[in-house]
Amino acid sequence: MKSHSINMLNTKEDKEIQTAEDEKVLEEMVKAGLHFGHKKNKKNPKMEPYLFGVRNGVNVIDLYKTKEMLDKALDFLSKSVSQNKTVLLVGTKVQLKALVKEIAEECQIPYVNERWLGGTITNFDIIKKRVDHLKDLEKKREEGELEKYTKKERLDIDREIEALKIKFDGLKSLAKKPDIVIVLDMIYNDLAIKEAKDRGVKVIAIADTNANPEVVDYPIPANYDALPSVKYILERIKEVIEKAKIQAQKEETEEK
């Protein structure tokens, strides 16, 4: 499938791989399955500029466009992180939950990998109070302040903490409204996009062939149903965030 896909891409009119690095990136994208879209009858017309064509009844994404748009998104992300902008990662599909948590924690950024709670951005002050309540309960438990309560009361508090963690654990490092939201599925997490746009928060999002790429600031045309595809993009995002943070720390040290 890999060689067939590369050959298919190389036959597209007016498209040429300029460097060995470009070829390597495109091969990685093919291997991860970024080019596989939805069935042709589920195509959003707004995605037409990012499509190569149809193969076996399935829309095929033009990976040259994917690389171009991914590079733009990563460049914006790099500049933003180097300016200490806050990034929130959102991916709540079952198959993505563990990966989202892993990548976010490695990058030290807040995340949502359970259900998106309405008001997370538009009513951030209310969400922040719930997060602070969770942090306060955890602190009291760690410091032994709950020992004064009965066994049943402590059990109830433990249950409350666990319930709060499911909803808010990934937001504990979010001290203010995020500057950028990265959404891994534009359809599944459309509410996160709506809230971000309503509050002027920039959105980077994976746009599969059934999505409208025009509703976000930095669409990345790619398959968001396959774990390898999403993982590939997240690894690129992780690399950029980590490098930008190191550079920002270096510049801050030099200024002192």
Q: Where are the domains positioned within the chain?
A: 2-121+177-255, 127-170
Domain 2-121+177-255 has CATH 3.40.50.10490: yes
What is the full DSSP assignment across 177-194?
Answer: --SEEEES-TTTTHHHHH
d(CA 138, CA 246): 30
Predicted model pTM = 0.89
Per DSSP, what are the bridge partners of residue 207? 221
Residue 203, strand partner residues: 181
137, pLDDT greater than 90 = yes
Confidence of residue 91 (pLDDT cuts 50, 70, 90): very high
- CA dist list (Å): 198 to 92, 120, 192: 21, 12, 10
Mean pLDDT confidence for 96-106: 97
Residues 6+ apart with CB under 8 A from 14: none
